[in-house]
Amino acid sequence: MFAVRSCLPALTGLALLASTAACSGTESAAPATSAAPAGTTTATPTPSVPATSGALPPTADAQGWRDSSARCGAGERLVLLIGSRLETMQRLAVCEEPGGPRVLRAEVPQLRAQPFEAKFFTFTANSQQFVAADGMKLDLSRQMVTVADDPQMKRGVVQSFTVGEYWSSF
């Protein structure tokens, strides 16, 4: 049987010897660099900003959709916008209170005549899920909005619509 303990002092000694040679001061601490040709500039790193999926759609602002009830309230932060055109414009905005839960505010005439809200339920690998007060479940992904368990539709019928406009703060 091979004993690791018998090799440990030798390995420790080699590591110590290698680190002593590297820190002996005979080599330069700074890596070698080549000088930039005269008249050129070097790029400086830009400060990091929150990643988004691009600019807000032209019909939206920092609170949500301008001409819709799908907007965030005072003190809430907009985190997701989704728009899609079926027979009418479907608009969804996900808002987040500082340190609080997310809420979906939606104006989706295809589903409800009146605007509605849904509470955050869970994240999946590719989406966020919300549940409305009447039990309707909405799954929001970059490509599709899927609605299930809608009490105003037959049980078991799943309705989906393709996302046309998408903006995310994350």
- Token pair in block for residue 125: 């690998």
CA distance 71 to 108: 13
Distance CA 60, CA 66 (A): 5
Cβ-based neighbours of 45, under 8 Å, separated by 6 or more:
none
- Say whether 9 sits in a helix, a strand or coil: helix
Ramachandran region, residue 156 (left: φ > 0; alpha: ψ -120 to 50; beta: rest): left
Q: Where are the domains of the chain?
A: 60-168
- Find how far residue 118's CA is from the centre of its chain: 19
pLDDT of 53 reads 62
Cα angle at 138 between 136 and 144, to 5 degrees?
A: 145
- Phi, psi angle pair for 48, to nearest 5°: -75, 140
Count Cβ atoms below 10 Å from residue 126 Cβ, excluding itself. Answer: 11
pLDDT at 102: 96
Reduced to 3 states (helix: H, G, I; strand: E, B; else coil), residue 28 is coil
**pLDDT in the model for residue 116:** 96
Contact call for residues 142 and 162 (beta carbons, < 8 A): no
pLDDT along the chain (170 residues), means of 10: 42 37 40 44 36 76 94 95 85 93 94 94 95 95 93 82 90
103: which strand partners? 95, 119
CB 103 within 8 A of CB 64: no
